[in-house]
Amino acid sequence: MPSSEKLISKKKPVFPISDLLHQYLIENNRSIKIPIFYDDLLRFQGCVTVYNDKDQDTLWVRTYYSEFDREEIDLCLKKIYTLLHSDGNEDTIPFLNVDAIDYCTFGNSKPFRIKIRNILNDNYTYFYVKKADASRVYGLELEHILSPHNINFLIYKDTLIEEHIAGIPGDDFIRDFLPKCSESEKSQIAKEFVKFKERCLVRLLGDMRSYNYVITPTHDFDHIVYKIRAIDFDQQSFEGNLRVYNMKFMKENAEIMSMVNEKLARSSIRQYKIEERSYMAKRMITAPKRIESLMHCMKNDVISTPENIIKLKKQIGDYANDPAFAKCKNMGEILQTILIYVKSNYLNISNKELF
């Protein structure tokens, strides 16, 4: 299996939020004035390494600020919490505490992870503060529209606020939990992985290595249901290599791919792919204006390089044997052409299989 590091061409640049995308975010209640920026959190005076329960470096560091800065920053983060999870009412702020401000030293986005605790009952939650990037915003919106999961985020100028997506990181799950699963649970995980892989491929969400998604177990009557969710949307429609969007070519997913091939017949795999595409088509049909407006923004935006666009449209065009992709001028048009296939097949306008 090819190394996923070789599949990724180079570090992805940050693409600014265009005026058109900004207007879309305002119209869909994603843009709101917040009291602090990403750069403000970079003023920390020092930090200490955060270790997990096995004394391993998590690649996160816990920051600390001057007394004056910390008081101001804490209040601003509490206000953001009320905006993200409520109606912005500040009456609850006295009952909130900022337990930790962690900074990630790994990856493109270098986010801050904020831990907010309710002092009345000790319940806590997280949210993330990142640099706003058009690729990530498109990825988050496509996740909200096309996946089974709603997602909550806010944008203000060059700062992005994301809610925490709960679950067990894929690499931890594969290493520590998968070996303990029953055979029936492994079959169910294999099914969910096929559907998740299909969803990422069709919508061109790349770089889904095992640490970029989470697996969430939920107890349901006498068994456990497993769901898989992406947590990193940085590589939305950027790379030119089609394999970057196909999880089976990521070496970190090799073990779970072997389990899929062992547990599922080819006919079952095809059935689950069709099911997931049908779900995506239904979501497009139920939110036609929103997906059309988002595609309009994407087609008039720059979120990749000319080289990547040429390479990807040729690979998909050759694979699908369809000249429509050769006419695409940017990543937005490539993605829209794919989604038209998905919707047409669901409506029985076309029976052509794209991938």
- Residues 188-221: pLDDT tens digits? 999 999 999 999 999 999 999 999 999 999 998 8
| Domain boundaries, position 243 | 168-346
Summarised one tens digit per residue, pLDDT across range 116-166 is 999 999 999 999 999 999 999 999 999 999 999 999 999 999 999 999 999
Please check whether residues 183 and 127 belong to one and the same domain.
Answer: no
**Contact (CB, 8 A) for 174 and 168:** no
Please check whether residues 212 and 158 belong to one and the same domain.
Answer: no
Whether residue 76 lies inside any domain: the answer is yes
| 0.85 surpassed by pTM | yes
pLDDT for residue 353 is more than 70: no
Please check whether residues 300 and 198 belong to one and the same domain.
Answer: yes
Whether residue 351 lies inside any domain: the answer is no
Whether residue 353 lies inside any domain: the answer is no
Number of domains comprising the chain: 2
Please check whether residues 45 and 99 belong to one and the same domain.
Answer: yes
**Contact (CB, 8 A) for 83 and 118:** no
Whether residue 222 lies inside any domain: the answer is yes
Please check whether residues 195 and 334 belong to one and the same domain.
Answer: yes
Please check whether residues 187 and 245 belong to one and the same domain.
Answer: yes
**Contact (CB, 8 A) for 200 and 230:** yes
Whether residue 4 lies inside any domain: the answer is no
Please check whether residues 241 and 332 belong to one and the same domain.
Answer: yes
Burial class (CB in 10 A: 0-12, 13-18, 19+), 174: buried
In angstroms, the first-to-last Cα distance of the chain is: 19
Give the pLDDT score at 40: 95
Q: Which two tokens stand for residue 265?
A: 């017949």
The 223-230 sheet, strands edge to edge: 168-169, 213-220, 223-230
Residues 6+ away with beta carbon under 8 Å from 23: none
Please check whether residues 95 and 234 belong to one and the same domain.
Answer: no
Give the pLDDT score at 124: 95
Please check whether residues 175 and 321 belong to one and the same domain.
Answer: yes
Identify which of 311, 318, 342 has the alpha carbon closest to the alpha carbon of residue 201.
342
**Contact (CB, 8 A) for 294 and 220:** no
**Contact (CB, 8 A) for 317 and 325:** yes
Rounded CA separation 114/352 (Å): 46
Whether residue 12 lies inside any domain: the answer is no
pLDDT for residue 5 is more than 60: no
**Contact (CB, 8 A) for 246 and 201:** yes
Give the pLDDT score at 31: 94
pLDDT for residue 2 is more than 90: no
Whether residue 124 lies inside any domain: the answer is yes
Please check whether residues 157 and 188 belong to one and the same domain.
Answer: no
Q: Which two tokens stand for residue 187?
A: 């079959």
Residues 6+ away with beta carbon under 8 Å from 318: none
**Contact (CB, 8 A) for 160 and 37:** no
pLDDT band at 352 (very low <50, low <70, confident <90, very high): low
Please check whether residues 340 and 193 belong to one and the same domain.
Answer: yes
Please check whether residues 195 and 321 belong to one and the same domain.
Answer: yes
Whether residue 123 lies inside any domain: the answer is yes
pLDDT for residue 67 is more than 80: yes
